[in-house]
Amino acid sequence: MYYRFQPKSDPHLKMMPACARILKVFCFCLLLSFSACGQSGPQLGLVEGRITLDGKPLTDATVTFIYSGENGTTSSGSTDANGHYFLKYTFRKAGAMVGHHDVKIEIEGAAAVRENQGKKSETGNNGIPDKYREPGTLTAHVKTGRQKINFDLSSSP
């Protein structure tokens, strides 16, 4: 007896296009759910700016934004040779939490010695007035999206 292959009469082959469509929809939904996993966490705004002291760029300074709300955390950044900083929320995430922040700015270590040439002055040993190291003297409000927040500091008490 001779067996002839007839695709129209085999019920498994008729179901194949429907199974392929269901599989495609399932894979798409799975991919979509995985892509949304990385978006958890607080809402952040990207913050950058420039810090000057008496009109000159403040180099090697650390700027820290301290979130004023509940369950908040800090964001920080360092200034470059032009006084420019860019905040980091975590090692991998840029920005700061949206809302009100107290800001502190300080210079530590070798940079402070360079600023003061090794001498203690009214500005303390960090090269800038102590009031800028205390949270509350400087404040900032972070919004969603990109923004520039500059600080013009003065060495006079």
Confidence of residue 31 (pLDDT cuts 50, 70, 90): low
Query: Mean per-residue pLDDT for 29-57?
Result: 79
Query: Would you say residue 56 has pLDDT above 70?
Result: yes
Q: What is the pLDDT of residue 104?
A: 95
Q: What is the pLDDT of residue 28?
A: 63
Confidence of residue 40 (pLDDT cuts 50, 70, 90): confident
Q: What is the pLDDT of residues 79-130, one digit of tens each?
A: 999 999 999 999 899 999 999 999 999 997 544 444 444 444 444 545 789 8
Q: What is the pLDDT of residue 119?
A: 46
Q: What percent of the chain has pLDDT over 90?
A: 50
Q: What is the pLDDT of residue 32?
A: 55
Q: Concatenate the DSSP letters of all residues of the chain into one string.
A: ------TTT-HHHHHHHHHHHHHHHHHHHHHHHHHHHTT-S--EEEEEEEEEETTEE--S-EEEEEE-STT--EEEEE--TTSEEE-BSSSS-BSEESEEEEEEEE--THHHHHHHTT--BTTBTTTS-GGGGSTTSEEEEE-SEEEE--EEE-S--
Comparing 76 with 17, which gets the higher pLDDT?
Answer: 76
Question: What is the CATH code for 44-153?
Answer: 2.60.40.10
Q: So where are the chain's domains?
A: 44-153
Q: What is the pLDDT of residue 118?
A: 47
